[in-house]
Amino acid sequence: MLPFCRARGSGGLVWLLSLALVVPAVPSVLATRASAAPAPAPSNAEAEAKRHFDIGLKLYKEKLYEAALTEFEQSYEIVPRPSALRNVAQCHRDLKRMADAYAAYGRLLSVHATQLSPKEKDAVQKALKELENVTGTLTLTVSPDGATILVDGKKVGESPLASPVRLDVGPHTVKVQKDGFLTQESPVKVVAQQQGTFEAKLVAEVKTGTLTVREKSGAAVKVWVDDKEMGPAPWTGEVSPGSHTVELKGKKFASPKRTVQVALKGTVELVVEANALRGRLRVETLNKVGKIFVDDDEVGSGTWEGEVKPGSHEIRVEADGFEPYKHLVAVEQGQTVIEPVTLVPKSGATGPTPASYIGLSGRFELLGGFSLSGAGQEISPAAGVPTDEHAPMGGGAGLHLGYSFGLLQAEIVGMFLLDYHQGKRTFSGGVPTNANFYADAAKKRAGDGFNRTEKYEYLGLAGYGGIGGRVTSQDDAVRFTFGASFGFAYRSVDLKRTTYDDGWKPGAVSYLAPALVLDGGLLLGSTPGVRMTLGAMLWIDFPSSDGVYTADEPAGRNISATFGSTTYGAILDSPAQKVRSGPQIYVGPTLGLQFGR
């Protein structure tokens, strides 16, 4: 056999058969057996595995161990035979990769033990013992968990490892890496028959910079970074790289906003001077319209807030169709004054629709659904009698996105509905498989022995998308709303038989049809803002008048009935069922939240 290892002893050369490659030395035996009974042709996988195995043998004879190793590994990957794995182990040994050889022999013993003879097992165990004497182990303790561990560039696993790693004697390089942490790489030395240790604790990678903010004169102020209170000055903390706004606020002092750039892993110290606090003035027009003037300077529209000097200030608001508004207010240092403004329409003028009802809006709602039209539930041909039928009912959700122009609103509507119902079918008799069944009138009358009742469950899932309009009253607290949209509905129905279940299941049926959705109800809450919605919904599909049928059940489902001393068989058949027919009408309550205008 090839190859062999030489050992010294009193008897001269000793061939270590335990480390030898398995050369196919049994063709003569196979040939002898083949003459008696031809063996079946090998499968494509077996033929391909043998081809790689034979190439590996040729390369090994030429002492091209690296190439031979590749072919044996490929052969084992296609068809995992112990002979290929034994040759993989031997190639590793010839290439002086003792730890890899140990791993291959260990796998040979653990995976293919039942395929090895006692003599072969002893040989493998002997090889493992010899390789154990010329290798060492390394216990790798790494934190955090989930870090990738590589030895000499080859991945050995992720932390925590279940057992020590066996390595060749000599120096090695251990590399540990994980996203979000700094990679650690260290040399280690492995000594034969000894267990070394390696510990690594990865340090989190810094992805921020450090910012320190101080008040120049030590005034009692708090630091605000990006409009978020961070704490009293002086303050030091970690911030993301990039641009940040910094300001100081206190009861008596404040500073204007300043912009600072912080680099990754950089440190920035900012000294800010806080000045004596001025007053603040906020003007809110309740109709959200009108230009706002403070001391004859136009400062904004609708709502405005800003700093002003302590003292008296004139506020003026002007809007088309409304009487001008003027008022004098006094603002003290450090004080915030809020001035609510209600604009009065000019006499005889038709002012614009209050802007409080103009803008984007959205609504999410939960809805129930109860079918008013049934679901068809017809048998074709009329072989079964429906009994104990239930109308579909279920629930779902809807989403409305629109833009309000005041009284009217345009919107896009999306909805889905899941419904469920049950039904039973009573079938009379069956098709007897015995031609003599009808020869006896008494047996014919007893044909109801083949009668049966089957129970069905219907699960429907529908989706709808459409566009439409909405009318909403302009009241403050409670508003009435009615919407209509037209689009398309996709509905799928899955039929399951729960009696006489022989494994056959019809496929789901579906249709795409025009649909109409109407809804109405109440909006409870202020505008703009978040409001609760209560109402009802009507959903109508308009599918083809032909209806939608399930698939026919294939013939061949047998049952039997005994009359007297004779047992007769029959073939049962469940015909197609019309599970949807005509307009599908669902009504139900809705409950949700509306956002925006």
Which string of DSSP letters, residue by residue, matches 133-169?
HTEEEEEEEEESTT-EEEETTEEEEESSPSSPEEEES
3-class secondary structure, 432: strand
Q: Where are the beta strands (DSSP E) in 203-290?
A: 209-215, 222-225, 228-232, 235-239, 242-249, 253-254, 258-262, 267-272, 275-276, 279-285
The one-digit pLDDT tens for each residue of the chain (597 residues) are 334 333 333 222 222 333 333 333 323 222 223 333 455 556 799 999 999 999 999 999 999 999 999 999 999 999 999 999 999 999 999 999 999 999 999 999 989 989 989 998 898 999 999 998 889 999 999 999 999 999 999 898 999 998 899 998 999 999 999 988 989 999 999 998 889 899 999 988 888 889 999 988 888 889 999 999 999 999 999 888 999 999 988 877 888 888 999 998 889 999 988 877 777 888 888 767 788 999 988 988 888 888 888 888 999 998 888 888 899 999 887 778 888 888 888 876 554 444 456 788 889 999 998 888 766 556 544 455 555 667 888 999 999 999 988 788 899 999 999 988 887 777 665 555 555 555 554 555 444 555 667 777 788 899 999 999 999 887 766 888 999 999 999 988 887 776 555 555 666 778 888 999 999 998 887 666 788 899 999 999 888 766 666 655 555 556 666 666 666 666 665 666 667 777 888 999 999 988 876
CA dist., res. 150 & res. 165, Å (int): 11
The domain that holds 307 is classified in CATH as: 2.60.40.1120
If asked whether residues 426 and 557 sit together in one domain, one would say yes
The domain that holds 557 is classified in CATH as: 2.40.160.20
If asked whether residues 481 and 415 sit together in one domain, one would say yes
If asked whether residues 363 and 296 sit together in one domain, one would say no
CA quadruple 559, 563, 564, 567: dihedral sign: negative
Instruction: Answer yes or no: are the C-beta atoms of 75 and 56 closer than 8 Å.
Output: yes
The answer as to whether 3 is a domain residue is no
- The letter for the amino acid at 313 is H
If asked whether residues 495 and 362 sit together in one domain, one would say yes
The answer as to whether 567 is a domain residue is yes
The tokens for 416 are: 């889905």
| Residue 385 parent element (H or E) | strand 384-387
Burial 473-494 (b: 16+ CB within 10 A, else e): eeeeeebebebbbebebbbebb
Quote the radius of gyration of the chain (alpha carbons, Å): 43
Furthest C-alpha separation in the chain: 129
The answer as to whether 439 is a domain residue is yes
Which among 365, 375, 369, 370 has a CA at the least distance from the CA of 492?
A: 375
Instruction: Answer yes or no: are the C-beta atoms of 122 and 174 closer than 8 Å.
Output: no
CA dist., res. 114 & res. 95, Å (int): 28
Angle between the N-to-C axes of helices 82-94 and 65-78, in degrees from 0 to 180, rounded to the nearest 10: 160
If asked whether residues 268 and 323 sit together in one domain, one would say no
Angle between the N-to-C axes of helices 44-61 and 82-94, in degrees from 0 to 180, rounded to the nearest 10: 30
Phi, psi of 10 (to 5 degrees): -65, -25
Cα–Cα distance list, 585 to 394, 397, 412, 539, 541 (Å): 13, 17, 21, 6, 7
3-class secondary structure, 36: helix
Neighbours of 159 (CB within 10 A): 18
The domain that holds 85 is classified in CATH as: 1.25.40.10
The answer as to whether 1 is a domain residue is no
The number of domains in the chain is 5
If asked whether residues 509 and 437 sit together in one domain, one would say yes
Of 145, 169, 201, the residue at which a domain comes to its end is: 201
Locus of tokens 């320190």? 212
Direct distance between the N- and C-terminal alpha carbons of the chain, in angstroms, rounded to an integer: 89
The answer as to whether 11 is a domain residue is no
The answer as to whether 579 is a domain residue is yes
If asked whether residues 488 and 361 sit together in one domain, one would say yes
Contacts of 348 (CB under 8 A, 6+ apart): none
Of 236, 251, 276, the residue at which a domain comes to its end is: 276
3-class secondary structure, 310: coil
If asked whether residues 449 and 589 sit together in one domain, one would say yes
The answer as to whether 214 is a domain residue is yes
The answer as to whether 6 is a domain residue is no
Angle between the N-to-C axes of helices 82-94 and 98-111, in degrees from 0 to 180, rounded to the nearest 10: 170
Instruction: Answer yes or no: are the C-beta atoms of 171 and 181 closer than 8 Å.
Output: no
Contacts of 577 (CB under 8 A, 6+ apart): 377, 378, 379, 380, 425, 456, 495, 549, 550
Phi, psi of 191 (to 5 degrees): -110, 140
Instruction: Answer yes or no: are the C-beta atoms of 317 and 325 closer than 8 Å.
Output: yes
Of 201, 223, 251, the residue at which a domain comes to its end is: 201
Phi, psi of 21 (to 5 degrees): -70, 150
| Domain carrying residue 151 | 136-201
If asked whether residues 291 and 413 sit together in one domain, one would say no
- The letter for the amino acid at 555 is A
If asked whether residues 374 and 235 sit together in one domain, one would say no
If asked whether residues 538 and 486 sit together in one domain, one would say yes
3-class secondary structure, 39: coil
If asked whether residues 401 and 376 sit together in one domain, one would say yes
**Omega prior to 256 cis, within 30 of 0:** no
